[in-house]
Structure 1
Amino acid sequence: MNKREDISGFYERIHYLAPERIGADKPHINVFERASCIGAVPFSRRDYYKVTLILGTGRLDYANQSIYIDRPALVFSNPLIPYNWNPDSSDQHGWFCIFNQAFIQQREGLLNHLPMFQIDADKVFFPDADSVDEIAAFFKAMMRENTESYVHKDDILRNYLHLIIHHALKMQPARDYDRDLNAAARITNLFLALLNRQFPVDSRQHELQLRSAKDFAKQLSLHTNHLNRMVKEFTGKTTTEHIAARILLEAHDLLLHTDWPISEIGYRLGFQYPGYFNSFYKKHAGTTPNEVRKQAV
Structure 2
Amino acid sequence: MAPVTSLQTFYQQLHRETEQLSPGAGHFNLFRVEDLELPNSKPVSYSRRDFFKISLVTGDSKIHYADRTVDTHGTVLVFTNPMIPFFWERISKRQTGFVCVFTEAFFARYGQIKDFPAFQGPATGIVQLADDQTGHFQEFFERMYAELHGDYIFKYDLLRNQLLELVHEAQKLQPISGQLVSAANAAERIAGLFAELLERQFPIEMTSQVLRLRSAKDYAQQLHVHVNHLNKALKTITGHTTMQLIAERMMQEARILLKSTDWTIGEISRSLGFEEPNHFSAFFKSKSGQSPNHFRQTQKD
Which TM-score bucket, shorter chain as reference? 0.5 to 0.7
Partners of 1:14 and 1:36 within 8 A in 2: no
Q: Which runs of 5+ in 1 are unaligned?
A: 185-203, 214-219, 233-238, 245-260, 277-297
Match of 2:130 in 1: 128
Change (3 A) 1:130 1:100: same
Shift in Å, 1:106: 3.4
Match of 2:35 in 1: 36
Q: Which runs of 5+ in 2 are unaligned?
A: 184-209, 220-225, 247-266, 275-279, 285-301
**1:106-134: CA deviation from partner (whole Å, max 9, x where unpaired):** 3333x332112125742211021122111
Aligned equivalents of 1:262, 1:139: Cα separation in 2: 53
Deviates more, 1:53-62 or 1:82-91: 82-91
Q: Does 1:267 align with 2:273?
A: yes
Shift in Å, 1:19: 3.6
Aligned equivalents of 2:3, 2:104: Cα separation in 1: 18
Aligned equivalents of 2:218, 2:44: Cα separation in 1: 35
Q: Percent identity?
A: 28
Aligned equivalents of 2:76, 2:229: Cα separation in 1: 43
Partners of 2:117 and 2:176 within 8 A in 1: no
Match of 1:113 in 2: 115
Shift in Å, 1:167: 2.5
**1:195-217: CA deviation from partner (whole Å, max 9, x where unpaired):** xxxxxxxxx9x98554599xxxx
**1:131-150: CA deviation from partner (whole Å, max 9, x where unpaired):** 21111111111111111233
Q: Please give the TM-score of this superposition, normalised by the length of structure 1.
A: 0.59
Q: Does 1:96 align with 2:99?
A: yes
Change (3 A) 1:78 1:263: farther
Match of 1:152 in 2: 154
Aligned equivalents of 1:173, 1:91: Cα separation in 2: 31
Partners of 1:57 and 1:71 within 8 A in 2: yes
Aligned equivalents of 1:47, 1:223: Cα separation in 2: 25
**1:58-79: CA deviation from partner (whole Å, max 9, x where unpaired):** 2111121111112211111110
Change (3 A) 1:212 1:145: closer
Shift in Å, 1:47: 0.2
Aligned equivalents of 1:82, 1:223: Cα separation in 2: 23
Q: Please give the TM-score of this superposition, normalised by the length of structure 2.
A: 0.58
Q: Quick check: which has more Rg, 1 or 2?
A: 2
Between Structure 1 and Structure 2, how many residues are aligned?
Answer: 216
Change (3 A) 1:176 1:19: same
Aligned equivalents of 1:223, 1:136: Cα separation in 2: 39
Larger relative contact order (CA 8 Å, sep ≥ 6) = 1
